[in-house]
Every structure is written in C-alpha cells, then in structure tokens.
Amino acid sequence: MAATPLTDFIQDWKTRLREPVADYWSPAELEETLKRVLQELSEYSPFEEVEIAKTTASSRTIDTSALTTLLAELVDGLHSIKKAEYKTVQNPRIYRNVKFIDDATIELDISSAPSTAGENINIWCDKIHVLNDSGPTNTLTARQRRVALDGCEAYAILQYATNMRVQIAAAITAIELSTTALLSIAARITQCVTDINSGRTEVAKVPATITAAVAEIAKISPEVLQAITDLDSGRAFINTLNVGNSPESMFAQYANTGLNDAIGYLRSAGGYFDQGKADESIASTYAGLGARELAAAASKISEAHGNLSEATARLSVARTIQAYEQSGNQKLALYRQELHRLETAPDGKRYLKD
C-alpha cells in the first residue's frame, strides 16, 4: 500500500524522537499534537484558498449560511476573510474590502448594495493547513512541513517530560511512607524496651521468692526431728503405770503438732515455688511481647527501605526525563523562530468602493 502524506509525516516525526519517547504516544495523542501545530503554523503562514459566497438582495451583507463548514476551516473565524471579488468574471478582477460585523456577519465595503440575491462573490480566506489521509491530504509546502515536524517533535518531548512530575510526586509519596514507617519503628522499639524491663522486674522477683521458699524448707527439718524426739519420749511411757495422766499421749500430740507445722512449712515453700514459676512465666510473656515488637520494627525497617529504594528509582527516572525536557525546550525555541520566519505580512491594501 502506498504511503499517505499523514503516514509519511508521522513516520518522519517518530524517526526524530529518541527512545522511549517515540513509542510513548497513542495515534490519538499524535493526532491531537499535530492539530495544535497545524493551527499554530496556520496563524503565521496560513493556507490561502478562494471560496464562493452569495449576495443578499439590497444589502451589503454577504450570505455566509452556506459556509458553515468553511468557518471550522478558517484560522480566525470570519476575521480570516481578507478580501472579496465582486463582480466576478471581470478582467481585470475587481477586488473589494470586507468589513467584519460580528462572528456570523461580514459585508462588502462598497457604495451601493447588490440589487439581487444569489450573485457569486469570491472571498479570499486564510485556512488551517490540512494533513490527513482522505480528501485534501496535504496543504503544506516542503518548508512548512519541516517546521511542522520541528513543532511536533518539541511538543512530543515536552509532553513526555511532564511524566517527570508524576515520577517526582510518586517519589515524594514513597519518602513520606518511608518516614512514617521509620517513625513507627521508634515507637516499636520503645515498647520493646518497656516490655523487656517489665520482664526483668518479674525475673528479679524470682530469687527473693526462692530464698523465701528455702527458708520455709529449712524450718521443716527441726519440726520433723522434734516430732521424732517427742514420739520416742512418748514411747518410753508405753506399758508403764502412770498416775493421773497419759504422758505417751501428750508426747504423741507434741509430735503431731510438729508434723503439722512441718507440713505447713512445706506447703508455704510450695507456694513460694509456684509464685516463682508465675513470675518466670510473666517474664517470659514480656519477653515474647518484646520479641514481637522487635519483629514489627524489623518489618517497618524493610518497608522503609523498600519505599526509599522506590523513591531513588523514581528520582533517577525524573533526572533522565529532565534531560528530555531541556532538549524539548531548545527545540521549541527553534520552532518558534521558524514560525516567525514563515510569517506572512498582512495585506493592508485598500480597494475602491465603486
């Protein structure tokens, strides 16, 4: 299939662009940028074409009702109509000035209004240049086409460079997230220290508890020995005749009381041991809580590191894009210079009314 003017233009345009800019744009975005450039180019060096309008009976007003399509093609609406030819088919041509009344009305600058309606009036218009694949396909001269390529290249690069701001914004967000994570680390570590100190407090209780238990245990042996002594003393009175009392029973009661005391000391010692175990268990719980806080802190450190890595990567991309932006600004300045060189001098000629 033969290449069309628009296809050729876009291909030349992409050839000028460095990667990754060339493949960044969708066809619709390329078309929108091209429209902008053609509009700007036409404001400096328009496409001049003659259109046919009609007279209005007994009025200098030009009937533009049939020119609705034309209005969209003009660089600056009806202001883009520069002069008119009336009457037509004259040799030499008879040119007239055109007066702008409002956005929908123009009139011939002549002394006498046309007597009949529907006579042809040739009007010279400044139109927006066309570059497409159907209908009038190309109104650009070779020089205008080159300037249009300059403009499209500059705008494409600068539009791509706007992505730099997106990258910087994302980097700022990543840094803020990293800061939040780091701030939470401090809270986690503080809580960890608190938990460990609480555990130490509980652990510190254990030696005192054990000491108390040992003291209780130390009391048991004397009571047991005394009970044995009492039982032996009572045994000596068994099978003897005692007047008025039973010494063997009294010594048995002494022994029983001593054993009960021993059992009490033993239970007290067991209670101290249970307390020691409980204190150790609480200390272990605090240690577990502290370990969890440290694990959470480590997780936050990893999160902060990830966010900072992302921020670094995005800022690196932004620096690369910044180089594109500088290039785009330089190309835009050259494009503006070329537009001024193309600028068509306004036709200030005044034509006779009669």
Please check the confidence at residue 186 and state whether its pLDDT lies above 90.
no
pTM of the model: 0.60
Q: What is the b/e burial string over 134-168, where b = at least 16 CB atoms within 10 angstroms of the residue's CB?
A: eeeebbbeeebbebbbbbbbbbbbbbbbebbeebb
Please check the confidence at residue 100 and state whether its pLDDT lies above 80.
yes
Q: What is the pLDDT of residue 185?
A: 66
Task: Choose the final residue of a domain: 127, 158, 188.
Answer: 127
The CATH number of whichever domain residue 253 belongs to comes to 1.10.287
Same domain as 231, residue 308? yes
Cα 255 to Cα 229: distance, rounded to the nearest angstrom: 8
Q: What is the pLDDT of residue 243?
A: 47
Residue range 26-48, pLDDT digits in tens: 778 888 899 999 999 999 999 99
Q: How confident is the model at residue 310 (pLDDT cuts 50, 70, 90)?
A: confident
144 located within any domain: no
CB 55 within 8 A of CB 115: no
Give the number of domains in the chain. Answer: 2
Q: What is the pLDDT of residue 234?
A: 59
Mean pLDDT of the chain: 76
352 located within any domain: no
228 located within any domain: yes
Q: What is the pLDDT of residue 202?
A: 64
Radius of gyration of the chain (CA): 52
Same domain as 98, residue 241? no
Q: What is the pLDDT of residue 215?
A: 67
Q: What is the pLDDT of residue 122?
A: 92
Same domain as 171, residue 251? yes
Three-state DSSP state, 59: strand
Same domain as 309, residue 199? yes
279 located within any domain: yes
**Nearest 5°: CA angle at 291, between 289 and 296?**
95
Residue range 56-96, pLDDT digits in tens: 889 998 877 766 667 778 898 888 889 999 988 888 899 99
143 located within any domain: no
Please check the confidence at residue 249 and state whether its pLDDT lies above 70.
no
Highest mean pLDDT among 4-13, 50-59, 215-224 belongs to 50-59
Same domain as 305, residue 244? yes
Which of 287 and 170 is assigned the larger pLDDT?
170
Q: What is the mean pLDDT of residues 165-170?
A: 72
From first CA to last CA, the distance across the chain in angstroms is 55
336 located within any domain: no
Same domain as 318, residue 176? yes
**Nearest 5°: CA angle at 146, between 142 and 147?**
120
Least confident range of 138-147, 201-210, 308-317: 201-210
CB 147 within 8 A of CB 339: yes
CB 131 within 8 A of CB 5: yes
Q: What is the mean pLDDT of residues 259-283?
A: 68
Closest by CA to 159, choosing from 45, 48, 30, is 30
CB 171 within 8 A of CB 314: yes
Cα 131 to Cα 129: distance, rounded to the nearest angstrom: 7
Residue span of the structural domain in which 65 resides: 48-127
Please check the confidence at residue 318 and state whether its pLDDT lies above 70.
no
Q: What is the pLDDT of residue 250?
A: 64
Same domain as 228, residue 179? yes
Cα 301 to Cα 258: distance, rounded to the nearest angstrom: 64
Q: Which residues lie closer than 8 Å to 66 by C-beta, 6 or more apart?
A: 53, 54
Q: What is the pLDDT of residue 17?
A: 76
Q: What is the pLDDT of residue 36?
A: 93
135 located within any domain: no
